[in-house]
Amino acid sequence: MGSMEAKNLLLGFSTTPTASIHKPQKSPHLNLSYSYSYCPLIQSQKQSFYKKTHVGVKLVVQRTGTWKGLECRNKVETREFADIREESRRKKLAVFVSGQGSNFRSIQEASNEGQIHGEIAVLVTDKPGCGGAEYAREKDIPILLFPKSSSLPGGLSTSDLVAALQSFEVDFLLLAGYLKLIPDELVRAYPRSILNIHPSLLPAFGGRGYYGLKVHKAVIASGARYSGPTVHFVDEHYDTGRILAQRVVPVLVNDTAEGLAARVLHEEHQLYVEAAAALCEGRVIWREDDGVPIIQSKENPIEYS
């Protein structure tokens, strides 16, 4: 793939960057560069300075080249530069959308407000004219088209998408109303690192064909008394990955699909932000006996939600 072809894969780059960062070329097929605001964590090994992390822990750079880190009450732990930088850096996220992208917007806003220790590095979509893609262009977020098809000839193949995401140094993938099935190759490239949000209490009302108002109409028609959003990890099938978090929404006696959808969506925005924050902070714990993911409490690490 030539440099011109690679450039055509990306839409919505900022034309007025604060600083220019050239990504290391990790794939022989892609040579990607883009611009964004960047403030290095380590300014100089010759000068000590303080940086407040998202959990309020004070970090001090020592001239000896080690971190005298985590100054928490009366306990001090010494760590190497690389270890503490990896723990404290903001994670990079790729969000996948096919529609208006309201969850994408709420995640972006939460990231800007510091609720999520991560930043959206790139948007992936199969519909370049959708509301989510328009919002990404407004915010100067790069856009990747996926998958390649007869209706989207400029889209990426799965292998090229993986290479592009690696070039952006993406840590986690967040599906936010993305309607295509995620290929096995992408699932293998990001194990336990892809989340999706679904507008029902899975495993009920999930699978191929269950999306949007179709879900809420099916819930009401079934006579179910409760619904609500589910955040789950993504596997090779529709809506069958391990459940991470859910929130219950009552179904009212005379509910409409539109009314139920609005109330569920309100909970989706909060639940997905909380799940994304836990993922970026390393608070998702996998139980050894059954492989179930649970969220560690931020306030009390020995508690789980």
Q: Point out the residues that are catalytic.
A: 198
- Residues 124/94, Cβ–Cβ less than 8 Å: yes
Task: Please give the Cα distance from 195 to 217 (Å, whole number).
Answer: 24
- Residues 91/169, Cβ–Cβ less than 8 Å: no
Q: Which two tokens stand for residue 263?
A: 């109330």
| Pick from 135, 144, 132, 133: nearest CA to 170 | 144
Exposed, middle or buried, 259 (CB in 10 Å: 0-12/13-18/19+)?
Answer: middle
Full DSSP string of 124-161: EES-TTSHHHHHHHHTT--EEE-S--SS-TTPPPHHHH
- Tell me which DSSP letter residue 55 carries: T
HSE-CB for 44 with a 13 A CA cutoff: 4
Task: Please give the Cα distance from 89 to 87 (Å, whole number).
Answer: 6
Q: What are phi and psi of 98, to 5 degrees?
A: -125, -10
Exposed, middle or buried, 89 (CB in 10 Å: 0-12/13-18/19+)?
Answer: middle
| Pick from 33, 32, 13, 10: nearest CA to 163 | 32
